[in-house]
Amino acid sequence: MEIIRSNFKDNLNKVYEAIEEADFLAIDGEFSGISDGPSVSTLTNGFDTPEERYQKLKKHSMDFLLFQFGLCSFKYDHTEAKYIMKSFNFYIFPKPFNRSSPDVKFVCQSSSIDFLANQGFDFNKVFRNGIPYLNQEEERQLREQYDERRSQANGAGTLSYISPNATKCPVTIPEDQKKFIERVVEQIEDLIQNEENKNLQLEPSIPGIIYLCHYCFQKERYIVISKVDEEERKRREQQKQAKEQEELSDAVGFSRVIHAIANSGKLVVGHNMLLDVMHTIHQFYCPLPEVSGLVSLQVIYKILLDTKLMASTQPFKEIINNTSLAELEKRLKEIPFNPPEVESAEGFPSYDTASEQLHEAGYDAYITGLCFISMANYLGSFLSPPKNHVSARSKLIEPFFNKLFLMRVMDIPYLNLEGPDLQPKRDHVLHVTFPKEWKTSDLYQLFSAFGNIQVSWIDDTSAFVSLSQPEQVQIAVNTSRYAESYRIQTYAEYVEKKHEEKQAKRKWTEDSWKEMERKRLKTQYTPYIPQSRYYCGCHEFLPSLMIHWTESGELCCNPGAVNCCMTCICFLFALSCLFRLRSLCLKSSLYTV
């Protein structure tokens, strides 16, 4: 269902109802751009830490506009054994609602706009009919403005049409305008004396004469003065308040949908959803937290699930090659998956997945929901006895909660909203600085003795270079010792130095919260302690996790660490179908630590 400015109010209750009754919600956003600074490849450096990635997106992606929001509610009908779906496609635009309202500036990135244009995106609908919105602070300010005006009006015991400066500023009336003013004064005195007349319509003033009470005598506009008794005054005042209340509601606009999602506490599913989450908070709610403190990303969404992360993790990782939304949706219709049984609710148009409408936010939200259902149900096949339907409340999917996929990061699959981020082993990675004239080919040249390398650009004059053999890292550092034009250090040295710089900076500040943050960061960078065990493939990123394979091939679970293991995605499988899990894990490569 397409929701624009003109049909928003009429359909808002439908939206509320859909959210309220849903088992889970799927969302998607379309933006006017991705990066206003670095190229996308620099923005998404392969060796970003989750914190760094968050900071980069916060700095370089938030000035774009989220101008289409897809919301799809899924409710399971047990008798029919199928999902009932309601899909909403919102067009959003910060139309200024009056002269003192915020005049939002947003950035557009040509490549993103061009991409959407090629998909048939309707920009006219956004700009002509987009639903306005306010964040919490703007809403508070507007409410204050109304309250202030009202209390001013009440205090003066008059209607609230008071020009704020009228009482303070003494006006010198020019000689040639005195006649006009005198005539007006006379007319008003007549009105007050005369019991029969209730209204007085002042004549439009002669051009070039004056502005009276800040009202503009132009064309068809003129001032009407009315006599009112106390009762009439109150009635008008109430009318006015009701109107103000409605204006305020209209101005808050689309943010009311976001508030409803926040209040519902429902599971919210998205595909590669980090930017969607950040944008919705930033645009409709409040400024993003300074330091990630990533828990606070849950200010709107209490439980999040990212289908791209789910599809990239065991037990899906092995059987899904391409996790792009369109390809994933196709793959999940095939064996061993089952296409989910989903039907549009009555009165809601249905999408046809055969004729793709990709990058319409409503459609993308819809197929994200389909993907989630297919994958959740697949998890049921591991249970004994197997289950065809796994609900959005099942323990089976909890391991995937509140972990957001990190684009293009090589060795950290997700940003963890509920605990410390993963500590990847980067002992094969070098940090290289060089003159800004250097190109990728110069780095290939420099490292030609070390076989295949991978280059991840940081900026014009530095990059991470990962070698295929960790043992060669020290050799590379040693050979560079006397080089003049470039400098090579290990990843660990780089992190240490960066951390020291941060500490030095922080020494100058006395704010205690910053001091606390420093400590938090320090914890985060505790040096990695190697353990000589084998790890199952799905844990290649998690050396500190407690489920592991022993050298003799036994599955080992560190006793007392069950809480920790609850975050381990395959823990439940490990318990319910040990053998099958073992074979799954063995298929992926094993890593010696």
Question: Which residues contact its own copies (rule: CB under 8 A)?
Answer: 32-33, 36, 39, 65, 93-96, 103-111, 113-114, 116-118, 122-124, 126-128, 164-165, 168-172, 207-208, 321, 439-441, 444-445, 448, 451-452, 468
| Beta-bridge partner residues of 68 | 30, 91
Q: Is the Cβ of residue 5 or residue 548 nearer to its own copies in the bound state?
A: 5
Helices (H), 130-195: 136-156, 178-193
* Minimum gap (Å) between residue 485 Cβ and its own copies: 17
Burial class, 471, CB count within 10 angstroms (exposed 0-12 / middle 13-18 / buried 19+) = exposed
Structure tokens at 402: 């509140």
Q: Is the Cβ of residue 29 or residue 33 nearer to its own copies in the bound state?
A: 33
Q: Is the Cβ of residue 263 or residue 445 nearer to its own copies in the bound state?
A: 445
Q: Is the Cβ of residue 439 or residue 497 nearer to its own copies in the bound state?
A: 439
* Minimum gap (Å) between residue 490 Cβ and its own copies: 22
User: Residue 456, CB half-sphere, CA atoms under 13 Å: how many?
Assistant: 18
Q: Is the Cβ of residue 184 or residue 455 nearer to its own copies in the bound state?
A: 455
Query: What DSSP line would sit under 513-537, residue for residue?
Result: HHHHHHHHHHHHTPPP-----EE-G
Task: Please state, in angstroms and rounded to a whole number, the distance separating the CA atoms of residues 510 and 494.
Answer: 26
* Minimum gap (Å) between residue 341 Cβ and its own copies: 31
Task: Please state, in angstroms and rounded to a whole number, the distance separating the CA atoms of residues 13 and 19.
Answer: 10
Q: Is the Cβ of residue 168 or residue 221 nearer to its own copies in the bound state?
A: 168
* Minimum gap (Å) between residue 377 Cβ and its own copies: 26
222 conformational bin, left if phi > 0, alpha if psi -120 to 50, beta if neither: beta
* Minimum gap (Å) between residue 337 Cβ and its own copies: 19
* Minimum gap (Å) between residue 54 Cβ and its own copies: 21
Task: Please state, in angstroms and rounded to a whole number, the distance separating the CA atoms of residues 269 and 371.
Answer: 10
Give the dihedral sign, CA 97/99/100/104.
positive
* Minimum gap (Å) between residue 360 Cβ and its own copies: 15
Q: From residue 464, how far is each of 200, 203, 241, 282, 501 by CA, in Å?
A: 78, 76, 61, 31, 19
Q: Is the Cβ of residue 169 or residue 354 nearer to its own copies in the bound state?
A: 169
* Minimum gap (Å) between residue 143 Cβ and its own copies: 20
Q: Is the Cβ of residue 103 or residue 352 nearer to its own copies in the bound state?
A: 103
Would you tell me the crossing angle of helices 274-284 and 50-60 to the nearest 10 degrees? 50
Burial 484-500 (b: 16+ CB within 10 A, else e): eebebbbbbebbeeeee
